[in-house]
Structure 1
């Protein structure tokens, strides 16, 4: 694990701050404490001895080598075309015509306390923490904030965002945002982390969840919030319905909910997606940090389950257990099992009850994204954002009803309650060639094939020793048992609507190859991986076989361990720690970063995935000091990005802010959504 000195900038001068040894990449220790409960300070919870990618039967390897030597390697599924080719990438040449959607001058790496956008583009803040959401909400006053006010205002640390058009032109839309976590030191003046007040705790409950806000496109290209019947806040006290095969299980029952079917709230919501039927899926991620007194649990089975989900320690960081016993694992042992799900909300119906879908499994969901197979079934992909954890796929049994009517939405949301949950196992095409340095194999690509291993379907478990309910509630343990491939923090996973392939951002894993941990393999080819990579999957959608390739192996282009889809590395923007994924209408991949380890601020990048410009990474914007870029939305004439935790650097606080973005002067930094548009009103990335 690398040890880095954090710093603050004062008028361009670098001021060293206290040594922080437990956080990954350039993320501050403050962010680690409040967002993921210092996950990098602890050993990864996956201590299973399941086989990893490099452990393949020698007879199979010999056959593959022989086939490759004759150029005859192919893998078919039921007569389908081969998946996962092994052709050597041709040297790239400058494109005669730049790829539509990426025709903009790249932004240079920088450390400015501002959102810096490509030349020729303008920007404006759409909505900030504390701005009114519900009509009649009070104006934000950070020195006199209350829980009642926060329940009607935009929440803290906005992450995933989506724009849902209310008309054909997109002049009016619904902006839906996750609010991942609260950073109390940066929210409250004079905050005492050892003795938070009850009001501060309740403000934090109200600052979690999601916001639905109507926004209107202005004549100058900007977006502005507007009053609407749709506007809504969802918080940690909003009732959710548990649905699917584990609903009502004894593993989900509590003293407040003896039926095991109703949960108050959602938390640590990271990424998400818009479904084809117009609802929003949102992933509950680092839920472990909110629960206290796990170390008081002595039952060995319960202890194993808690440890696998990283639920450890006595008092929690936020001390919520002092004000509601549901955050105390020793008193309410099943409450923790009611978080870590994919949730679904219907932004078109502000009176609807949000849902937690148990059929998609319980783990640290970065998010989930769905596509519709040719036969009408729904397929959902999701990554478990932890070092050495897994990639999952769910395939529904039922078929989708077309349209976005209320009737169609009710039917289609039920599809996520009945289907088969799988976990991925990867095999490479170049056994024996992966040495952990990032050196390309002889075939010129990191690539191979894979298998989706079924875990459970409805009430049937496919994992020996696990009931179906146990598979859904303790999905990580079930995936361990079937030998899934340990990955480098699989985060956002999204199908590309243009080429049909699936793209997964793997952010980093500095523990890859360290003592007692899995070594490098072709899907995770570097030890001490602090820059991450991007995986491209050619899936057969409803089947159990896929081909895969690494599109990007991120980092400094001058580093020989990096790879940019075969593109000329001297022409790309440096990129580190990919996190969220989006696509424009041309099929270009857009990536935000989290924890840039290249001494520049995080940002948003575009990269073509097809043709001679495949792998040509270009930076579109950077975010302010201490901030992370999240939740990109890319439309023909508009881009939005969530600027999360601005000013969150070590040594800073609400009393001593390290950033004054977005309001300037001496103001406190405020997480916000920013819109970017062409100054001339033209299309994004078109010359």
Structure 2
């Protein structure tokens, strides 16, 4: 079934904040990158949100449960393995992102996109024997994403419609088209159609109301299944409203470990997609479409993500460097240029590797390093502010460079291909959180951060005082002293993928990889959302509302 889900320019500009007094007031005075506002506009909804307990002050916040601030309550919408539709499809493993799509013309039905980042099974622990094909199919099925169909019950609460014909799965088994410059080239072994999407971390809504989902750490799963590595590491577009429409991998947006994406419009109506590379010393990218967006409909939207220019950020010079074949090869041909040791390749080998623009896009991270882009400390997720379109980037951390707790960077476009940037807030004791992994800006311009301290570091060493991962609200000024914590995760889980209903009465959130270190062992480290009679934990999507008590 296909639903009418067209979004007009006027609706999208409202989404960006144009003409909304509440959004115009939001984030005034954000440090050196923002102009000062009058006292009348410095009111922010942050100051209207209730004060909350800080779980880091309590021993309970390292407990194996999801703890919320006073006045909030949650229910589980769906957990790993739960049936999601009339065909018997099940929710994938390790949910990492959600995106809310109201069904046009209805205030009681909606779709929810959910990413599934990776799969873990007991048979993955002992790899002494070859993995059976049935096991490989299961591993591939659990990744990708789910389209859930939600309906309000008699009490106005969102529930999963398990008998739905609208809900469906996109997985590592789904046929997916390639689009753009790399389609059919030697960089992808001539492929125009590939099998599945893997390791889906973050994403973004498009202007035309479809979903972008990013493939992150894809190597292990694709190698295990005997799939070509070059077919993964792309941005995939899915239409939640039309399960018959084949998903598309947009090669013009580059191939790397995609942590997230954020879409906006340039001043001349070109589509801009910002992307973060979720790797230690990963880069920040920007794609700008060749064509301009109008309200023409779906026939034009595919072109907007197929023809354009990809850039990587140079924070030292404050400029965007075009990832073009000429830029890469000219740099490699310089007599004084020395190939980075981290590439483990000579200049001659790299010149042989980069023969066409499709080669550049298929090895975007290597190209970015060659042309002089700036490595960042795991830029996992990013988001665009609705008023001034500045970009917030969560750099989780990088032990190798002594950055134990990470920071959030703020980037603001200037003239031409230049930008300014600053550290908006740094993680650590002074701010009350460590290792920012997910970012969300709500309809009022408030910045929400989910921490992502890895399971092996939680409650140990430099990270011991932060306890379990949490969900934080950051003050509009970036003041570390005014950070508020609103949730604490179950053991070894991360909280991520916040999405809001139109009027923000309901929040959807993914609880990712609870008990990650104990999977496949006789001693699970978490039992959060285990099934009756079993001990193994399950990732889940929860619905958060105001408590009725």
| TM-score, length of structure 1 as denominator length | 0.65
Structure 1: which 5+ residue stretches go unaligned? 1-82, 90-94, 138-151, 254-258, 293-319, 328-334, 428-448, 513-527, 558-563, 565-573, 682-687
152, 173, 176: which one aligns with 1:240: 176
279, 284, 290: which one aligns with 2:221: 290
2:75 aligned with 1:124, yes or no? yes
Structure 1 contact 163–175 (Cα < 8 Å) conserved: yes
Q: In structure 2, what is the equivalent of residue 374 of structure 1? A: 267
Matches of 1:123 and 1:503, distance apart in 2: 28
**TM alignment of 1:75-474, pairs within 5 A:** 85=32, 99=46, 102-109=49-56, 110-137=61-88, 152-167=89-104, 170-185=107-122, 192-195=126-129, 196-220=131-155, 222-226=157-161, 227-253=163-189, 259-292=190-223, 320-321=224-225, 326-327=226-227, 335-402=228-295, 408-427=297-316, 450-456=318-324, 461-464=326-329, 465=351, 466=354, 467-474=356-363
How far apart are 1:248 and its partner, in Å? 1.0
How far apart are 1:412 and its partner, in Å? 1.7
How far apart are 1:666 and its partner, in Å? 4.9
Structure 1 contact 182–207 (Cα < 8 Å) conserved: yes
Matches of 2:235 and 2:434, distance apart in 1: 27
Q: In structure 2, what is the equivalent of residue 578 of structure 1? A: 436
Matches of 1:424 and 1:231, distance apart in 2: 38
How far apart are 1:614 and its partner, in Å? 8.2
Matches of 2:499 and 2:482, distance apart in 1: 20
Question: Tell me, what secondary structure is at the counterpart of 2:526?
Answer: coil
2:391 aligned with 1:534, yes or no? no
535, 541, 546: which one aligns with 2:419: 546
Structure 2: which 5+ residue stretches go unaligned? 1-29, 37-41, 330-350
Question: Tell me, what secondary structure is at the counterpart of 2:141?
Answer: helix
Question: Tell me, what secondary structure is at the counterpart of 1:659?
Answer: coil
Distance 1:280 1:88, change over 3 A: closer
Cα deviation digits, residues 188-241 of structure 1 (max 9, x gap): 6x9743334432222111111111011123354542111333211111111111
Matches of 1:644 and 1:603, distance apart in 2: 12
Of stretches 107-116 and 665-674 in structure 1, the one that deviates more from structure 2 is 665-674
Question: Tell me, what secondary structure is at the counterpart of 2:259?
Answer: coil
Matches of 1:633 and 1:100, distance apart in 2: 21
| TM-score, length of structure 2 as denominator length | 0.80
Q: In structure 1, what is the equivalent of residue 368 of structure 2? A: 479
Structure 1 contact 401–412 (Cα < 8 Å) conserved: no
Of stretches 381-390 and 634-643 in structure 1, the one that deviates more from structure 2 is 634-643
Question: Tell me, what secondary structure is at the counterpart of 2:242?
Answer: coil
2:476 aligned with 1:603, yes or no? no
Matches of 2:533 and 2:448, distance apart in 1: 34
How far apart are 1:401 and its partner, in Å? 2.3
Structure 1 contact 221–677 (Cα < 8 Å) conserved: no
Q: In structure 2, what is the equivalent of residue 317 of structure 1? A: none
Question: Tell me, what secondary structure is at the counterpart of 1:469?
Answer: helix
Distance 1:290 1:422, change over 3 A: same
Instruction: Report how many residues are paired.
Output: 473
Cα deviation digits, residues 340-364 of structure 1 (max 9, x gap): 1111111111101111111111111
1 or 2, which has the higher helix percentage?
Answer: 2
Q: In structure 1, what is the equivalent of residue 447 of structure 2? A: 589
Q: In structure 1, what is the equivalent of residue 538 of structure 2? A: 670
How far apart are 1:104 and its partner, in Å? 4.0
Matches of 1:191 and 1:490, distance apart in 2: 29
How far apart are 1:494 and its partner, in Å? 1.2
How far apart are 1:455 and its partner, in Å? 1.1
Structure 2 contact 425–479 (Cα < 8 Å) conserved: no
Q: In structure 2, what is the equivalent of residue 313 of structure 1? A: none
Cα deviation digits, residues 22-56 of structure 1 (max 9, x gap): xxxxxxxxxxxxxxxxxxxxxxxxxxxxxxxxxxx
Matches of 2:34 and 2:298, distance apart in 1: 43
Cα deviation digits, residues 405-440 of structure 1 (max 9, x gap): xx623422320111111000113xxxxxxxxxxxxx
Distance 1:353 1:198, change over 3 A: same
Question: Tell me, what secondary structure is at the counterpart of 2:297?
Answer: helix
Matches of 2:271 and 2:49, distance apart in 1: 31
Structure 1 contact 451–546 (Cα < 8 Å) conserved: yes
Matches of 2:151 and 2:483, distance apart in 1: 31
Moved over 6 A (4+): 86-89, 95-98, 612-615
How far apart are 1:160 and its partner, in Å? 1.2
Structure 1 contact 84–546 (Cα < 8 Å) conserved: no
How far apart are 1:504 and its partner, in Å? 0.3
Structure 1 contact 507–532 (Cα < 8 Å) conserved: yes
2:395 aligned with 1:506, yes or no? yes
Of stretches 231-240 and 190-199 in structure 1, the one that deviates more from structure 2 is 190-199
Distance 1:367 1:613, change over 3 A: closer
Q: In structure 2, what is the equivalent of residue 69 of structure 1? A: none
Matches of 2:542 and 2:406, distance apart in 1: 26
Matches of 1:556 and 1:394, distance apart in 2: 36
Question: Tell me, what secondary structure is at the counterpart of 1:366?
Answer: strand
